[in-house]
């Protein structure tokens, strides 16, 4: 395998909607920590608009709007353009060229087996009886391999659902290197160590926050909206009277407390307990009401969300500045990915116009 002596992160999001607290605990918060760890030579975050278009071809306006929305979410969470390069996928032509060459290294049977794509096809109703699967959608794992390899990223922090993408990417890397010589770098997936943070349920207690289920708390939600959402959160349906024993498992309020609360929050807002374990114990025993738990959760969440809201307000007052960050980041990424594309073309020997041997070989062949 080609050696990369640098530590490079590449990750990305599809700009199909504003980001919610599931994104925040699952990845954004961690990206900021990685950014500030100083352990990485380069960090790139891709706003994957081209990938988003693979199942939104009829609605480019939605993608267009959400590019700024997602950038605002990034910046307000503390991603710092001086340390992290934010770039726009469709503006990086090298990615599209690489995808085209990688397509020859992947069989349709292999794509069909990709569990993430399989699942997404089902969720979107593209298959049997549906409108059919857009080719671009079907092949997006290949384009995602282009995203990762074009930055020579060795570290890709993503959610579990993306594991099959990294696996498929690494297969392409191995295939490429074995056919054309060592060029590309394999990447490692970096999952969140905290299991609860990996899959934060929706406010309705359902498996995952999702816009279509209407069970999200968005980073850009106003305090009164967050208040309403928390107060109507799913708890334990059998916990009717305060004195009833309550269930913690599947109780969204406690799952959120698991993800967000720290011991110091108890000191500040709920000194009846010194930590979450004590609070859970009381809930299980009976005698602790849902409203009290929800009020505490709201305080904890406010502490986390308020600085994000403040930063968002500042960035919202400077949209041209946000735009400029995207433009500069994309410019830098264009250079990085352009270099890797040249290496790929050289390895494939299709770099005709910087390959004088091509003329020489022909002249030799013709005895000139
Ligand atoms: N598929 C990812 C998602 O839906 C987004 C994405 C696009 C991505 N390109 C990437 C993630 C490259 C990691 C690396 O969340």
CATH number at residue 335: 3.40.50.620
Query: Ligand 1 centre from 12 Cα, in Å?
Result: 5
Best of 15, 31, 51, 87 to mutate for ligand 1, by most ligand atoms within 8 A of CB?
51
Give buried/exposed letters for 21-50 (b at 16+ CB in 10 A, else e). Answer: bbbbbbbbbbbbebbeeeebebbbbbbbbb
Determine whether the shortest distance from the Cβ of 337 to ligand 1 is under 6 A: no
Low-confidence winner among 49-53, 67-71, 78-82, 208-212 (lowest mean pLDDT): 208-212
pTM greater than the 0.85 cutoff: yes
Going by alpha carbons, the residue nearest to atom 15 of ligand 1 is 13
- Number of domains present in the structure of the chain: 2
1 belongs to a structural domain: no
Contact 80, 45 (CB under 8 A): no
Contact 106, 168 (CB under 8 A): yes
For residue 84, what is the enclosing H or E element?
none
CB atoms near residue 209 (< 10 Å): 22
Position in ligand 1 atom list of the atom nearest CA 147 = 12
Q: Are residues 53 and 129 in the same domain?
A: yes
62 belongs to a structural domain: yes
Determine whether the shortest distance from the Cβ of 11 to ligand 1 is under 6 A: yes
Domain of residue 272, residue span = 223-315
Determine whether the shortest distance from the Cβ of 48 to ligand 1 is under 6 A: yes
53 belongs to a structural domain: yes
Query: Ligand 1 centre from 145 Cα, in Å?
Result: 9
Going by alpha carbons, the residue nearest to atom 13 of ligand 1 is 11
Determine whether the shortest distance from the Cβ of 12 to ligand 1 is under 6 A: yes
Determine whether the shortest distance from the Cβ of 19 to ligand 1 is under 6 A: no
Average pLDDT of the chain is 95
Q: Are residues 32 and 96 in the same domain?
A: yes
Q: Are residues 153 and 242 in the same domain?
A: no
Q: Are residues 139 and 83 in the same domain?
A: yes
User: Taking residues 207-216, what's their average pLDDT?
Assistant: 85
Phi and psi at residue 88, to the nearest 5°: -105, 125
Going by alpha carbons, the residue nearest to atom 6 of ligand 1 is 12
**Residue 177 burial (CB < 10 Å; 0-12/13-18/19+)?**
middle
User: Taking residues 52-61, what's their average pLDDT?
Assistant: 96
pLDDT tens digit sequence for 57-73: 999 999 999 999 999 99
Q: For position 298, what pLDDT does the model report? A: 97
How many whole angstroms separate alpha carbon 240 and alpha carbon 295?
17
Determine whether the shortest distance from the Cβ of 294 to ligand 1 is under 6 A: no
pLDDT tens digit sequence for 73-103: 999 999 999 999 999 999 999 999 999 999 9
Best of 8, 10, 13, 163 to mutate for ligand 1, by most ligand atoms within 8 A of CB?
13
Identify the domain boundary among 275, 293, 315: 315
Q: Are residues 106 and 245 in the same domain?
A: no
Best of 8, 9, 120, 144 to mutate for ligand 1, by most ligand atoms within 8 A of CB?
144
Q: Are residues 35 and 117 in the same domain?
A: yes
Q: For position 348, what pLDDT does the model report? A: 98
pLDDT tens digit sequence for 315-353: 999 999 999 999 999 999 999 999 999 999 999 999 999
Nearest partner of 260 among 190, 200, 191, judged by Cα: 200
Going by alpha carbons, the residue nearest to atom 14 of ligand 1 is 11
CB atoms near residue 197 (< 10 Å): 20
Position in ligand 1 atom list of the atom nearest CA 153 = 14
Q: Are residues 52 and 147 in the same domain?
A: yes
Q: Are residues 144 and 17 in the same domain?
A: yes
216 belongs to a structural domain: no
User: Taking residues 129-142, what's their average pLDDT?
Assistant: 92
356 belongs to a structural domain: yes
Going by alpha carbons, the residue nearest to atom 8 of ligand 1 is 12
Q: For position 212, what pLDDT does the model report? A: 80
Determine whether the shortest distance from the Cβ of 157 to ligand 1 is under 6 A: no
Query: Ligand 1 centre from 140 Cα, in Å?
Result: 10
CATH number at residue 230: 1.10.240.10
How many alpha carbons lie under 13 Å from residue 1 in its C-beta half-sphere? Answer: 14
């Amino acid at each position: 395998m080609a050696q990369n002596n640098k530590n490079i992160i590449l990750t990305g999001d599809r700009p199909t909607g504003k980001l919610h607290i599931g994104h925040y605990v699952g990845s954004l918060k961690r990206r900021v920590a990685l950014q500030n760890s100083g352990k990485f030579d380069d960090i790139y975050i891709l706003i994957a608009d081209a990938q988003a278009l693979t199942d939104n071809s009829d609605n480019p306006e939605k993608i267009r709007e959400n590019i700024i929305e997602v950038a605002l979410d990034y910046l307000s969470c503390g991603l710092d353009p001086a340390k992290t390069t934010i770039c726009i996928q469709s503006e990086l032509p090298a990615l599209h060229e690489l995808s085209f060459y990688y397509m020859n290294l992947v069989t349709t049977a292999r794509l069909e087996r990709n569990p993430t794509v399989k699942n997404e096809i089902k969720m979107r109703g593209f298959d049997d009886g549906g409108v059919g699967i857009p080719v671009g959608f079907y092949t997006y794992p290949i384009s995602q391999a282009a995203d990762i390899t074009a930055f020579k990223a060795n570290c890709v922090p993503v959610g579990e659902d993306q594991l099959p993408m990294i696996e498929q990417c690494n297969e392409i890397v191995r295939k490429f290197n074995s056919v054309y010589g060592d060029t590309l770098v394999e990447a490692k997936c970096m999952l969140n160590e905290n299991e609860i943070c990996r899959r934060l349920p929706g406010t309705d207690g359902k498996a995952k926050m999702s816009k279509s289920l209407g069970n999200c708390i968005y980073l850009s939600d106003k305090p009164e909206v967050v208040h309403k959402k928390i107060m109507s959160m799913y708890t334990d349906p059998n916990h009717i009277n305060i004195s009833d024993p309550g269930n913690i498992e599947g109780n969204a309020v406690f799952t959120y407390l698991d993800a967000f609360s720290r011991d110091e929050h108890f000191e500040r807002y709920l000194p009846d307990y010194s930590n979450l374990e004590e609070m859970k114990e009381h809930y299980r025993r009976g005698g602790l009401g849902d409203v009290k738990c929800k009020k505490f959760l709201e305080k904890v969440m406010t502490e986390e969300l308020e600085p994000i809201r403040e930063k968002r307000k500042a960035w919202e007052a400077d949209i041209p500045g946000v735009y400029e960050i995207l433009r500069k980041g994309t410019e830098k990424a264009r250079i990085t990915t352009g270099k890797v594309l040249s290496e790929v073309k050289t390895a494939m020997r299709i770099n005709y116009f910087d390959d004088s041997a091509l003329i020489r070989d022909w002249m030799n062949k013709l005895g000139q």
